[in-house]
A and B are shown apart, each in its own frame.
Chain A
Amino acid sequence: MAKSIHIDPIATRSPTELASKRIPVHAYARALADEHRVRGADALLEALRHMMVIRAFESGIASLKSTGSYGDLTYAYKGPAHLSIGQEAAAVGAAMALTPEDHIFGSHRSHGEFLAKGLAAIQMLGDNALTTIMEAHGDGALLRTVETHLPDESGRGLAENFLLMGLLAEMFMREIGFNGGMGGSMHAFFTPFGAYPNNAIVGASAGIATGAGLWMKSEGRDSIAVSMVGDGATGCGPVWEALNFAGMAQFERLWDNAGFLPVLFFFTNNFYAMGGQTSGETMSWDRLARIGVGLREDACHAETVDGTNPLAVADAVQRKRQLLLDGKGPAILDVECYRFSGHSTTDVNAYRTKNEIAAWGAVDPIGTFRESLVAEGILDTATADAIQSDVDARMNAVFMAAADPAIAPPPGLGSDGAGIGRKMFTGSETPPDRHAPEPLADPAKVVRIRKNAKKSRGGRDANGELISPLKAITLRDGLFEAILHAALIDPRIIIYGEECREWGGAFGVYRGLADLFPHDRVFNAPISEAAIVATAIGAAMEGGRPLVELMYADFIGRAGDELFNQLAKWQAMSNGLLNIPVVVRCSVGSKYGAQHSQDWSGLAAHVPGLKIIYPATPRDAKGLMASALASDNPVIVFESQRLYDQVELFQDGVPEGNYKIPIGVPDIKHVGSDVTVLTIGPTLYPVLEAADSLAGRGVSLEIIDARSLVPFDYGPVLESVAKTGRLLLVSEACERGSFAMTLATNVTRFAFDALKAPPRVLGSPNWIVPGADLEHGYFPQPFDIEDAVMTDLMGDAGHNRTGSRRWDDLALARSGL
């Protein structure tokens, strides 16, 4: 309990000084002879060979981009080429110290990291394990291709061909690529080797790796997660959020299984963030490792190490890994190295001198390491040359095969051209394969649950009078019941966000859960929306099913990348290898003005890859939340704060047991004949009021509650419009670009012949949400709805307008409104 930590004003206000651990910089000084004795000659030779493989691979890409040919191949490679030529020792050194169960999450410049991790994993896994892995991937299609079209090899040689072909085919957007061609150069991954998604958004892997670490800790795994991002990522807010999240004090002080998250923040520091120089120009820090001091007394065990020497990197990663497994993380490594290649192929090195490039060329990691192995007598020049020739020959064969469409065809788009679209959602549910631990208390004895048991399930009494939300099940209770049920039976569900534990969420949805679940199931997150969503994604990639909360929908902006580029994308970008079962709750406020009252459901619906629900009744809230929590796909739940106390008016009551309402099916809430009104979220209630009033004037409304935005079954709406011939869409979102506009457009298209009038969207105007006292002139009110029905849809020229909307939409549009 947070209350158990007493903040003592006397102790807090006593004078003291803060000191932090000193940060070693290039402290590695082990003699190669010692490394030789400890690691053996084979490991050192493999390190050299792996660096050569990465260099050859990326040189091939560089050659294709600049000359259109490489070796025997002529091919126009159209994709990106963010190369890491010169950085090979950093990648290979890290991989030497990691097991296949340790997971790396890399950057847009990750070919080297990916290959290094794969090559190291191939060394560590036995032939049987490798065969099983290769057979299992894509029903063995990639393995068959490699066996058929590349020189005859078995065991590790075969697996290396599999690794290289899987990556290159992915970059060439071929069906047998590791991710079916859906990821490409910057995103390729292959989880059986511990290489998790690489990310084209700078710094995005930090939060996702942290979430992976969260789930590894939850499961008590003997492994770590590695965020592999560049020095430029230290300028990204979400990276700082991730660093803080990984070291939250509660992991040590409040969780039963004490220990911080096992996350290594491995910064490949090549001194440049594209064309900006980090140290000296764009960053405050002088040495990257110094940022550890900003967070913790132990400085996050930060160290600067020599990224041109694989053994210096391996030594550091090995030591940090042990600290992380001991629960002493998170850890930061500043791995200094140099990128000889440009940021991309359009880079003309305007930001650095030839002298500087040449000076680093003199300490090229491959040449230097090769020479030191020769000097130590571990390798002779002839053998080194032979290794290089083998690598080049293998690479030539792989490039030839991957580019050949007869060997590696592009993915089919399906007979209707929507093949990629069908990768967006699985529509599947995967039930838990184990029981959840016993709750901390008997649920029946928890005050909230006891009180709910006494409440009326319906919202009206025998006389038809409304029942107080204190005595009837509300929308808040409906959400709670679905969440409680799921959390009790499914140990994969973890619940967090700001104020989620003792407070029960700012709007009390979770009140009572803290009595039942320990901190690893329900916890308070920092005010770090980016980290809240990013960690949920990482935990989901590892097998968890997080339910996270953004207190207000307006805070979606703070988690924009995480929601729109990460949560929405990885299902399809992984070609279905990953499910991202994350549920994000966000409330839509009111009374708090422009930054706390926006319905951004349409913004979320605009980005492909997210399922969106917006329930308006307790029964729908419970059933849709149950579906969201069972879904293997990401779901965003919009909840109107105005409706948390709403009791059930439409059904006999909210069923007590668990039930699911399918996502995507609108619901007819009131049958009518003259005008169909499709509502989104809380607008259902002012429309009901308007319907009562209009009935008195002989106009009958058929009211349909959208309930979901994505997916959306137009069937019930088209059927209704076929009957009424008129459609009004009411939403609290600003009209311009809103989801109601999308609905209106499609209904116009598919029901044109039935329409007696053009569909009308009644939303909020295209300006800021005013504070509480002026909201009636902003959100659609019953009078506004009546006006729209009578004038625009019923064509009653004599209608006496009573709403506040008397503006000219076309004139406003010319002014940007």
Chain B
Amino acid sequence: MARIELRMPELGNEITEAQIDAILKGTGDMVSEGEEIVTITTPKVTMDLEAPATGTVLEVLIEVDDIVAVGTVLAVIET
């Protein structure tokens, strides 16, 4: 059992923040590594963030339309 965090990734040195477009998994959902959990938009692109590990979503720490800085923990997965 380990707790793995999904963080807002570095997307090049010009991008400092992104907006949450959609939350695709909720607390208690099972996810496989590589499965999309959150959709974000930066000024330039829209992209899906994937589960870093297979397990259960323990917490979702953001809401749709939130603006999050690079490095922010978005969700926690328990393996």
Contacts and interface: CB of A to CB of B under 8 A. Distances in A.
A644 interface: yes
A470 B67 contact: yes
A22 interface: no
A644 B46 contact: no
A471 B43 contact: no
B43 A508 contact: yes
B25 to A, nearest CB: 19
A474 B19 CA distance: 15
A474 B41 CA distance: 14
A468 B17 contact: yes
Nearest to A508: B44
A447 interface: yes
A511 B21 CA distance: 15
Nearest to A645: B43
B44 A470 contact: no
Contacts of A644: 43-44
A507 B44 contact: yes
A743 B65 CA distance: 46
A777 interface: no
A451 interface: yes
A476 interface: yes
A451 B67 contact: no
B41 to A, nearest CB: 7
Interface string A449-492: 00100100000000000001111001010000000000000000
Given A447-B21, A451-B41, A468 B46 contact: no
B38 interface: no
Interface residues of B, number: 12
B17 A470 contact: yes
B64 to A, nearest CB: 11
A470 B43 contact: yes
A104 to B, nearest CB: 43
B67 A471 contact: yes
B43 A469 contact: yes
A476 B18 CA distance: 16
A504 B67 CA distance: 22
Contacts of A503: 45
Interface string B9-38: 000000001110100000000000000000
A471 B19 CA distance: 9
A468 B45 CA distance: 16
Nearest to A504: B45
Question: Which of B18, B19, B43 has the most CB atoms of chain A within a 10 A radius of its CB?
Answer: B43
Nearest to A477: B43
Question: Which of A448, A470, A645 has the most CB atoms of chain B within a 10 A radius of its CB?
Answer: A470
Question: Which of B17, B42, B44 has the most CB atoms of chain A within a 10 A radius of its CB?
Answer: B44
Contacts of A447: 21, 41, 46
Given A447-B21, A511-B46, A468 B41 contact: no
A468 B67 contact: yes
B21 A470 contact: no
A474 B43 contact: yes
Contacts of B19: 451, 470-471
Contacts, number: 34
B39 to A, nearest CB: 8
Interface size class of A (residues with CB under 8 A): 10 to 19
A648 to B, nearest CB: 15
Contacts of A468: 17, 67
A614 B65 CA distance: 32
Question: Which of B17, B21, B46 has the most CB atoms of chain A within a 10 A radius of its CB?
Answer: B46
Contacts of B43: 469-470, 474, 476, 508, 644-645
A631 B44 CA distance: 28
B17 A511 contact: no
Contacts of A511: 44-46
Nearest to B45: A508
Contacts of B46: 447-448, 511
Nearest to B16: A468
A469 B18 CA distance: 10
A645 B18 CA distance: 13
A432 B5 CA distance: 54
Interface in A483-520: 503-504, 507-508, 511
Interface in B32-79: 41-46, 65, 67
B11 to A, nearest CB: 12
B43 to A, nearest CB: 5
Interface in A359-381: none
Interface in A628-654: 644-645
Contacts of B17: 468, 470
A454 B41 CA distance: 14
Contacts of A471: 19, 67
Contacts of B21: 447, 451
A503 B42 CA distance: 13
A783 B46 CA distance: 37
A448 B41 CA distance: 9
A470 B43 CA distance: 6
A510 to B, nearest CB: 11
A635 B29 CA distance: 53
B1 to A, nearest CB: 36
Nearest to A448: B46
Nearest to A644: B43
B51 to A, nearest CB: 21
A252 to B, nearest CB: 29
Nearest to A591: B14
Contacts of A507: 44
Contacts of B67: 468, 470-471
Contacts of B44: 507-508, 511, 644
A791 to B, nearest CB: 34
A476 B44 CA distance: 9
A471 B44 CA distance: 13
A747 to B, nearest CB: 36
A468 to B, nearest CB: 6
A503 B47 CA distance: 11
Contacts of A469: 43
A507 B43 CA distance: 9
A746 B21 CA distance: 51
A471 B17 CA distance: 11
Question: Which of A447, A448, A454 has the most CB atoms of chain B within a 10 A radius of its CB?
Answer: A447
Contacts of B65: 454
Nearest to A470: B19
B75 to A, nearest CB: 20
B16 to A, nearest CB: 10
A516 to B, nearest CB: 15
A471 B42 CA distance: 11
A402 B2 CA distance: 92
Contacts of B45: 503-504, 508, 511
Contacts of B42: 470
B14 to A, nearest CB: 8
A388 B17 CA distance: 80
A469 to B, nearest CB: 5
Nearest to B21: A447
A596 to B, nearest CB: 14
Contacts of A448: 46
A511 to B, nearest CB: 7
Question: Which of A448, A474, A508 has the most CB atoms of chain B within a 10 A radius of its CB?
Answer: A508
28 contacts: A447-B21, A447-B41, A447-B46, A448-B46, A451-B19, A454-B65, A468-B17, A468-B67, A469-B43, A470-B17, A470-B19, A470-B41, A470-B43, A471-B19, A474-B43, A476-B43, A503-B45, A504-B45, A507-B44, A508-B43, A508-B44, A508-B45, A511-B44, A511-B45, A511-B46, A644-B43, A644-B44, A645-B43
Given A447-B46, A451-B21, 7 more contacts: A448-B46, A451-B41, A468-B17, A469-B43, A470-B43, A471-B67, A508-B43
Interface of A: 447-448, 451, 454, 468-471, 474, 476, 503-504, 507-508, 511, 644-645
What 3 A-B pairs have minimum CB-CB distances, sorted nearest first? A508-B44, A470-B19, A645-B43
Interface of B: 17-19, 21, 41-46, 65, 67
